[in-house]
Amino acid sequence: MPDASLSALAAQLAAKQVSSRELAQQYLDRIATLNPAINAFITVDAERTLLEAAAADALIAAGNAGPLTGVPIAHKDIFCTDGWLTTCGSKILHNFVAPYDAHVIQCFKAAGMPSLGKTNMDEFAMGSSNETSYFGAVKNPWNPAYVPGGSSGGAAACVAARMAPAATGTDTGGSIRQPAALCGITGLKPTYGLVSRYGMIAFASSLDQAGPMAPSAEDCALLLNVMTGFDPKDSTSLDREKEDYTRDLDKPLTGLRVGLPREFFAEGLNNEVAAAVDAAVEELKKLGATTVEISLANSKLAIPVYYVLAPAEASSNLSRFDGVRYGYRAPEYTDLNDMYSKTRAQGFGAEVKRRILIGAYVLSHGYYDAYYLQAQKIRRLIADDFNEAFKSCDVILGPTAPGTAFKLGEKSDDPVEMYLNDLYTIPANLAGLPGMSLPCGFDAKGLPIGLQLVGNYFSEAKMLNVAHQYQRATDWHSRQPEGLK
Amino acid sequence: MSLTQDDVKRIARLARIETSDAEALATQAQLNSIFGLIATMQAVDTRGIAPMAHAQEVYQRLREDAVTETDRHAAFQAVAPAVENGLYLVPKVIE
């Protein structure tokens, strides 16, 4: 069971070899065994999961099953889930039971996919190591002394340990791709606007995008079919025709032009990561691809631009957490302002506070032009570089992160050092382009290495085609941590 | 440029986050190292470049002026820290 792909699980369910309840119970048992050491889940509610699985079994029995009906999935604790604790990894929401479903949750419910629980994450998705969670750090299943990456660290770790066959994540600056890379799984951040943000607790609204995390590209394509689509409740949701993201999986790669941005292979990239990515390029060439050198000259500015724009949007979005309508309220206070200030001081963790302060500062009178407006202008230069690059290539390839997983605590005292992890992932968020990470090897310590693909707008099917063909030729994505099999 | 401890206290007040002097001191050093990173973008000539606020050029949609939501105030207020008679309770703001 832990090795099965989503399509294999769906086939077993359709053939009545296993029921959704039995399948859910098998994963719940695995969670009960493995999660205490990994801490990938904030909330597990076996009773609720089994009820949802029983409903899926009824759909299957009645002949009303969809492609993934009965296959269970874990959801990042950033998605409001009716009746489930939804914390966003924060003390300020430690007691928040959502009264409605996020659109993404509605999609998976409509597909008949039971929820295995809510996965751990960096507080409000702010972090690259999953160490900022109020509910404790997640451990990397490949070596529990190392971080799983973040912010969707619980999602990546639960899939890597096969505690769930798949999970949802969100990506504002790399939060699907970087943990996917560090945990040796496949993750995809779609084109901005393809997946509704309704009910997904907002961090930086112009960058946030939800996506699938699973062992393989084929799994991700199936999940993307479920979670994409127009939603009138998200003002930035794109009204486009539904696509089948599996349609191009089996196409040959003959004639594919792979763009290699020289800035992504420059100083700062770990040698073992560079070697693994180079080897993946050679593999794609064997499959018929050609390479072309491209330049994303302004991408080196992506981190400074991001650390102006994302905190600015966050400082506005997080002003809703005031201890009045939901969540934590400080026990003692003198007046309304004191209640706000104490609630927020006690309810938010250090990294979230830092980002709110940066945001408040760059938006304040006298600094707006120098910071916020300048960052928005450079954002356009970064997006223009991609537009130029896609004139000469079909997909851009590089490393997902500059290195493999680092030790717990190694970077948690130095915010700037932590921020540099997202050097290669942030540019796609700023441009709104789709990006994905897939496993392409291991370092000498046995930790996974991630390969990143960035596609043009709405080219998810093409990226998934490239990733699937690569995964047919290699077996990195099907490797599992020793001892957890 | 670098932030003073007073700057940190001022923005913390703007953001409604209670901050002690000791916390402001520690935060000041971290924020200054982050603003050191951010400062690298000041060297870029962006004259004539239009700011980019969003990845997709979308406009606010209008919908029909019709009631689409049901009254769920009991469910929404069930998660509030303090309510009475359907109202959210906060400390007195008007004497």
A342, closest residue in chain B (CA to CA)? B18
What is the distance, to the nearest Å, from the Cα of residue A211 to the centroid of all Cα atoms in its chain? 6
Structure tokens at A40: 């990938």
- What is the rounded distance in angstroms from the CA atom of residue A193 to the CA atom of residue A207? 10
Chains A & B: contacts with CB separation below 8 Å: 168
DSSP notation for B36-48: HHHGGGGGS--TT
Structure tokens at A383: 């997006």
- What is the rounded distance in angstroms from the CA atom of residue A303 to the CA atom of residue A208? 16
The CATH number for B5-43, chosen from 1.10.20, 2.60.200, 1.10.3470, 3.30.70, is 1.10.20
Its ipTM equals 0.95
Give the pLDDT confidence of A304-356 residue by residue, as tens digits: 999 999 999 999 999 999 999 999 999 999 999 999 999 999 999 999 999 99
| Interchain contact, A329 vs B82, CB within 8 Å | yes
At B94 the pLDDT is: 81
Give the pLDDT confidence of B68-87 residue by residue, as tens digits: 889 999 999 999 999 999 99
Note whether residue A184 is domain-resident.
Answer: yes
The backbone torsions φ and ψ at residue A161, rounded to the nearest 5 degrees and listed phi first, read -85, 5
Note whether residue A406 is domain-resident.
Answer: no
Structure tokens at A85: 């604790």
Structure tokens at A329: 């309220």
With beta carbons under 8 A apart, name residues in chain B contacting A100: 72
Residue closest to A170 by CA, chosen among A207, A131, A211, A225: A211
* Pairing verdict, β A257-261 and A395-399: parallel
At A485 the pLDDT is: 67
- Residues 6 or more apart in contact with residue A281 via CB below 8 angstroms: A258, A260, A291, A397
A319 is annotated as an active-site residue:
no
At A1 the pLDDT is: 56
- What is the rounded distance in angstroms from the CA atom of residue A217 to the CA atom of residue A436? 9
Structure tokens at A83: 């009746």
What is the distance, to the nearest Å, from the Cα of residue A199 to the centroid of all Cα atoms in its chain? 16
Note whether residue A16 is domain-resident.
Answer: yes
| Interchain contact, B41 vs A344, CB within 8 Å | no
- What distance in Å separates residue B63's CA from the closest CA in chain A? 9
- What is the rounded distance in angstroms from the CA atom of residue A236 to the CA atom of residue A204? 13
**Cα angle for residues A223, A473, A402 (degrees, 5° grid):** 75
Which one is catalytic: A76, A118, A189, A411? A76
CB atoms within 10 A of CB A70: 29
Note whether residue A79 is domain-resident.
Answer: yes
| Among A residues 187-206, those touching chain B with beta carbons less than 8 Å apart | 192-193, 206
At A465 the pLDDT is: 98
Domain span at A21: 6-255
* 3-state secondary structure (DSSP) of residue A371: helix
In which residue ranges of chain A is pLDDT below 50? none
The minimal CB distance from A342 to the residues B18, B56, B82 is found for B18
The minimal CB distance from A324 to the residues B75, B78, B88 is found for B88
Note whether residue A125 is domain-resident.
Answer: yes
Measured between its terminal Cα atoms, the distance across chain B in Å is 43
With beta carbons under 8 A apart, name residues in chain A contacting B79: 95-97, 99, 325-327
Domain spans of chain B, in order of start = 5-43
The minimal CB distance from A345 to the residues B19, B41, B93 is found for B19
- What is the rounded distance in angstroms from the CA atom of residue A340 to the CA atom of residue A36? 35
- The domain tally of chain A equals 1
pLDDT category at B2 given cuts 50, 70, 90 is confident
Per the DSSP assignment, residues forming a β-bridge with A454 are A396, A435
Fill in the amino acid letter for A459: S
**Contact A20/B at CB under 8 A:** no
The minimal CB distance from A378 to the residues B15, B46, B54 is found for B46
Question: Contact, A92 vs A344, CB < 8 A?
Answer: yes
Give the pLDDT confidence of B41-58 residue by residue, as tens digits: 999 999 999 999 998 888
Taking 3-state DSSP, the helix, strand and coil percentages for chain A, each rounded to the nearest 5, stand at 40, 15, 45
A175 is annotated as an active-site residue:
yes
* 3-state secondary structure (DSSP) of residue A231: coil
- What distance in Å separates residue B61's CA from the closest CA in chain A? 7
pTM of this prediction exceeds 0.95: yes
At A267 the pLDDT is: 85
Question: What is the domain-level CATH number for residue A201?
Answer: 3.90.1300.10
At B1 the pLDDT is: 61
